[in-house]
Structures are given as structure tokens and as C-alpha cells.
Structure 1
Amino acid sequence: MLIYLIIIWKMDKYEREPLINVIVHFLWGAFGAIFFAVAGSSFFNFLFATKNNTPPLIVQSVIFAPFTEEIAKGSFLLKTVTDKKFDNLIDGLVYGGAIGLGFGMTENFIYYLSYGTTFYAWLQLVIIRSGFSAVMHCISTAALGAFLAIAKFSENSIKFLLPIFGFLIAMVIHSIWNLSVSFVNTYIWGTIFIFLLIIFFISLFKFFIVKERKIILRELTEEANMNLIPFSHLSILSSKSRLKKGWIDERIRKLYVRTAIKLAFRKAQFKISNGYKKLYYENEIKQCRNLISDLLSTNIK
């Protein structure tokens, strides 16, 4: 799960979140979300139990577990998305994915202890749960994170519906996987479903990266028109070329790139914000411009 976590973190190409923040979300999934998910499932089992029987396992697996677990995992994102440093679309995917991976890690550990009674049984669990179940948890919560991010940066009048839609998608993903592995003759469909989910997840990541590239180009073009940034830097700052040496003094390259990208995102957020957040972003924009001006005035090639 930690390997998956690092891969997702590194997929954020333009402005990676602090690794410590990503780990905090991972730990929430591993401990906090697990606790509330177990408590929620127990409550629903008690609520819908008859005099002599608990609800059927298929109901617990396909309805109760997805509902309670996705709420438990996603609740932390509701706080994260309000943070001013949650500043681009990919943040939702990264933080949501981190929570899902943490949850999957602890759930896997419980399964290994409970059902890995022989080496063969343990090996099956490792392959199935590490390669499929935990990935499902990652993608389902990342999907919710994506919709929360879209809602935050959208100016659409019905954006308040997006978090609900995101939760429903997360729950449906979870339910389909649990249903597919509940029967021997449907297991292959579950495997195919996960592969399709992985393709969807990677495609969504790439789509958001393209959106961020467009934001960077749009906002920095305005800065170039104001003579803050050279026009020749626009295509470099928004592409992999920014990682290469030689196009600007190497002593300032990394700081210049980080500041320029930060400036672009802060400007985009400023345009859709109001109140104290607008003032916060305005101050950040001024700081970024001043730093870029200082860097370029003495070090530009």
C-alpha cells in the first residue's frame, strides 16, 4: 500500500502535496475510518436484525459495508477540501486515494490474520486483496475526492450536488466489487471490473493534468502580457521541459518553477473565491509575483 501511495503522490506533476499531509490521510484511512466503518456496520446490522437472525451476509456486504465505509473514508475529505492549500483538481484524487489505501491496508491485515490459516490461503489473500480489494478502496474514495475538487473549483450553480454524486459513485464502485466476489461464478467479472477501474483512474489523472496545464498556460500568459514572465517560458513551465537544465540559471530553476506554478493556481482560485479566501489568495499572488520579479531580475539568461 505504501508503494501505491508513493506512485499516486508522484503522479501529481505540477504541484505535489506535502508528503506528510498525504501520510496523515493514509493514517486516517488505516485507523480512523476503519473504526467508524466497523461501528457503522455494527449499527446497521443491529438496526435491521430480526428477532432470530442478523441481515444476510450479501446485504451486509453489498449495501451496509459500502455505505458505512465510504462515509467513514470520505468524511475526512470534507475537511480537507475546505483548506486553502487544497488548490487543484488532482489534490482530491491524491488525498482520496491515500485514505482508500490506508483503509485497504488495515482491512487486508485483518483478513490475513483471520483467514490466512495456511500458506496457500494466505498467498491467495495477498494477491486478491493487495491487487484488487485495496485498489478498489483507493479508487472509490479518490472518485469522491475528484468530485469534491470539481465542486470546489466550479462556478456552476448546482455544484452542491457534485459531492452527493461523488459519494454515490464511490458506493456503487464498492458495491459492484463486493457483489462480484460474493459468488464463485462472478469472480472473473470482478477482476475485469477492477482493471477497468484502474484504466478509468489513470485516465482521470491524465485528464486533470491536462486541465491544470491549461490553467497554468492561461494564467501565466496574463503575467507574460504584464512583462513579469518571458513568453518563451510559458511552454516550458507547463511541460516536462521545466525539469531540464539549461533554460534558466540552475540556481533558481526549481524555486522559479514552483513559484510560477503556484502563482497560476492561486490566480485561478482568486477568480472564483470571495470573502477572506479572496484576500488570502490576493496576498499569495502578490508574494509570488514579487519573488518571481526578484529571481528574474538578476538571474535570467
Structure 2
Amino acid sequence: MTGQHPDPAGSPHHRAASPLPGEGSPALQEPPHGPGTVPPLWSAQPRGTTGTAVTVLLISGASLALLLVAWFLWAPLGSEAFVLCGILALVPLGICLLGLRWVDRWEPEPRSALLFALLWGAGISVGITLLAGPYVGQALHLLLPSIPPELVTPLLEAPVVEETAKALGVLILVFTRRSHFDGPVDGIVYAGTVAAGFAFTENILYFGSALLASGGLGVELGFVFVLRGLFSPFAHVLFTSAVGLCLGFAVARGGTLRILAAFFGGLVPAVIGHMFWNGGTALVDGSFFVFYFLLQVPFFALSVTGVVFLRRAEQRLTRQRLGEYAVAGWFTPQEVLMLSTRAGRHQAMSWAGTFGARTTMRNFIQEATRLALTRQQIAAGRNLPANTANEQRLLDSVTRTRGLMLARAGGQPAGR
């Protein structure tokens, strides 16, 4: 790391941004010169909008919905059964959240946005399903009278209603937390968190039904727990991630119409995947385990492989965009390598830990990563005034964090 900072006039604000290979966006050009000195019309500095009020309202509304859904589940179960089923449902929820944290490690999303996603899934999306499901089911019965009624709910009603209810939460995050919704990986994380919340509440319902059917703890509850909690905790995550993936690609390109088209386009594979999960055992003579190991396990492995490739693409983008800042003098080449590789970040965190500055180093890494993603949006020509202002804010923040780091380290950068 270095304590030397070039004059801001040499910053990337005055340089053309080179698009990624294959991009059609032209390089940014310097603005034309003004007419000369003009009297100031406005001297106050604009205040950055953090969306705090909107976030508080969203979280409060989702929390209220979760309380209402919890009361709906508690009424038939009673306190003891409700608590027991809730504890059991925490197991698959924890598995899902740990997996999503692994996906989100490169550029972590704000905790407030993730909290809203979780609450939306556990509360509002379940409420929408409970309220709208019967009406959608009746409509499907009328439209498709030839389909047996016992097949309408699992194969049509549940996939359509549940996936739509979950996907709406992801769409809200696109428009309310746009500055932190940068691409497909972010979409997968937000969609997966919504789905994990939905699965948590749904598992309480399934565990409670098994508990009441068997009259207490028994084989039926154990079978349902193993089936839903251990064998298939990521089922809902995989379905809804299709919506997040499509929205993430659309956000990366910009445009409200493109985002709405991606929302409905992502719903199609999400609903089909859900339908396939609910009725897929019919393809293998009703054997769940054959269906699970021959079809679901390979599909899950393929999904994980896709996430790995998307994360590597984020790392390459980080290296390219931070390299532009290094040419302008904001980073050293060594810092770019450190910030754009997992090994470099791990080494930097270990070094910062020797003098109690791991939190400061983590902030430096996160700010630099956010800066690279912001520069990518500028290079693509999206919302230039807001992104340019955000770029300057992040450059100032990175400079302050670097100074604090060097002060904590006694003024000596790593490796010297």
C-alpha cells in the first residue's frame, strides 16, 4: 500500500473509460469546456441519499407481515409445537444462508437489504401465497377442467403463486437498492435470500402438519425433516435464483423495460423448475431418491459451477477497472493484485490483523470493489451523474481508509 496520492486532476474522471471486451458502449469523453467563470447559482453541497427511510419502511412492513403469518401458524399448532418446528426450520435456513454467504463473499450486499429480502420471503411472500393461492387455484380449475384437481395445486397453483410472490421482493430490491444491485451474482444472492426466508416459514408449516398428523414426535416428522431440511434445503433457492439471475443481467445493461422483461422471463424457468420438482417423481415411477440423485443432484452441481464462473467474472472485472485507477495514480499495481484476488485479500487481512486493523482493511477492500463496479456502470453509460458522484465519494473514502490504515500500521505499507 502507498501513502502517495496524485492530484485529483489526474483521476479517472478526466480519462476515457475503456469498455470490457465485447461491450458495445463507447468510451466516455471529456465534457466540453464551459464559457468561463460564471457566478455561483448554488453553493450548498448536495446530500447523498442512502435510502434509509425507504429501507426502514420496507423492513417494518415485512416484519409486520411476518408477525401475522407467525400468528396464523401458531394458532393451530400451539406454543410448544410452533417453537419446536421453528427450531427445526432453522437448520435448513442456516444451510441456505451459509451457502449464500459463500456466493456473496466477493462484494457483500448491505445487511439491511438482505434483512428485507429474508423478511419478505418469510412473511410477505408467504402471506401473498396464502391469500392469493385459493383464488388462483379456482381460476385454474375453471380454465383447465380436464386436469385432475389433486394435480392443479402442486403442479400449477403453487409454482405460479409462490414464485411470483418471491420474485416481487427481488424486483423491489432492484428499484430501491439499485446502487447495490450490480449484476447476476447480486441477483442470485437477493433472490436466494428471499427464497430461504420463504422456505423457512413453509418448513414450519410442513413440520407442524407432520407433527399433528402423527400426534407428536415420530417417524413422520423425522422423515419430513430429513427430506426437506437435509436433502433439499436449496430447492426454493434454486427456483427463485433464476429470477435473480435474469434481473442481474438486465440491471447490468440498464433500462426499466429490460428489467421488467427480465422479471417475467426469469419467472418462466423458476415456475417450470418448481413444477418439475413437485411432479418430477412421476418420471421415475414415483421414486423420490432416484429422482433426487439422478436429476436434482446434477442440477445443483451445475448451478454451483455457474456461480463459480460468475464470481470469477466479477474478479476479472474488478482487476480491469481498478487497473484503470492505477494508471491514474489512485492505486499501485500491487494493490490492484491484492484487491482482485482471493489470495491477495487473505494476505492483506492477515497483515492488517497483526496491528488490529482487520475491520479497516475489510472496509478498504469493500470500498475498492464498490468503486470498480461503479466504474463499470460509468463505462456502460448508465446514470452518469449519479455514478460519477458516487465514484468521487468512493475515491475520497478509499483515500481516507488508506490513510487510516497506514496510520495504524505506523506509516509503513505492507512489504516494506
Same fold per TM (> 0.5)?
Answer: yes
- The structure whose RCO (Cα within 8 Å, separation 6+) is larger is 2
User: Residues 48 and 7 from structure 1, CA distance in 2 versus in 1: closer, same or farther, beyond 3 angstroms?
Assistant: closer
Q: Does 1:110 align with 2:216?
A: no
Show CA shifts across 1:131-161 (max 9, x none): 34542111111121111001110369x9554
Which residue of 171, 174, 193 corresponds with 2:271? 171
User: Residues 53 and 296 from structure 1, CA distance in 2 versus in 1: closer, same or farther, beyond 3 angstroms?
Assistant: closer
Secondary structure of residue in 1 paired with 2:224 = helix
In 2: Cα distance, 1:162 partner to 1:189 partner: 33
Which residue of 343, 347, 352 corresponds with 1:244? 347
| Contact preservation (8 Å) 2:368, 2:398 | yes
Shift of 1:53: 11
User: Residues 179 and 258 from structure 1, CA distance in 2 versus in 1: closer, same or farther, beyond 3 angstroms?
Assistant: same
Shift of 1:283: 1.2
Greater gyration radius: 2
Show CA shifts across 1:219-261 (max 9, x none): 0110011111101222211112212247679645333222211
User: Residues 206 and 220 from structure 1, CA distance in 2 versus in 1: closer, same or farther, beyond 3 angstroms?
Assistant: same
**Which consecutive residues of structure 2, in runs of 5 or more, have no partner in the other structure?**
1-92, 407-411
Which residue of 57, 60, 63 corresponds with 2:150? 57
Shift of 1:169: 0.9
Q: Does 1:278 align with 2:371?
A: no
Alignment of 1:83-162 (within 5 A): 83=177, 84-116=179-211, 117-118=213-214, 119-154=218-253, 159=258, 161-162=261-262
Range with greater deviation from structure 2 (21-30 or 180-189): 180-189
Show CA shifts across 1:55-99 (max 9, x none): 521122111211111101101111111222223432111111111
The amino acid that maps onto 2:371 is: L
User: Residues 88 and 155 from structure 1, CA distance in 2 versus in 1: closer, same or farther, beyond 3 angstroms?
Assistant: closer
In 2: Cα distance, 1:19 partner to 1:297 partner: 26
Secondary structure of residue in 1 paired with 2:234 = helix
The amino acid that maps onto 1:244 is: Q
The amino acid that maps onto 2:252 is: F
The amino acid that maps onto 1:259 is: E
Secondary structure of residue in 1 paired with 2:253 = coil
| Contact preservation (8 Å) 1:104, 1:133 | no
Secondary structure of residue in 2 paired with 1:80 = helix
In 2: Cα distance, 1:6 partner to 1:19 partner: 14
Map of 1:66 onto structure 2: 159
TM-score by length of 2: 0.65
User: Residues 55 and 48 from structure 1, CA distance in 2 versus in 1: closer, same or farther, beyond 3 angstroms?
Assistant: farther
The amino acid that maps onto 1:278 is: L
User: Residues 214 and 297 from structure 1, CA distance in 2 versus in 1: closer, same or farther, beyond 3 angstroms?
Assistant: same
The amino acid that maps onto 2:197 is: G
Q: Does 1:227 align with 2:329?
A: yes
Range with greater deviation from structure 2 (125-134 or 282-291): 125-134
Work out the percentage of aligned pairs sharing the same amino acid: 21
Map of 2:23 onto structure 1: none
User: Residues 64 and 295 from structure 1, CA distance in 2 versus in 1: closer, same or farther, beyond 3 angstroms?
Assistant: closer
The amino acid that maps onto 1:91 is: D
The amino acid that maps onto 2:280 is: S
In 1: Cα distance, 2:141 partner to 2:286 partner: 29
Shift of 1:196: 2.4
In 2: Cα distance, 1:105 partner to 1:296 partner: 41
User: Residues 231 and 288 from structure 1, CA distance in 2 versus in 1: closer, same or farther, beyond 3 angstroms?
Assistant: same
| Contact preservation (8 Å) 2:325, 2:331 | yes
User: Residues 179 and 212 from structure 1, CA distance in 2 versus in 1: closer, same or farther, beyond 3 angstroms?
Assistant: same
TM-score by length of 1: 0.88
Map of 2:374 onto structure 1: 266
| Contact preservation (8 Å) 1:45, 1:54 | no
User: Residues 17 and 297 from structure 1, CA distance in 2 versus in 1: closer, same or farther, beyond 3 angstroms?
Assistant: closer
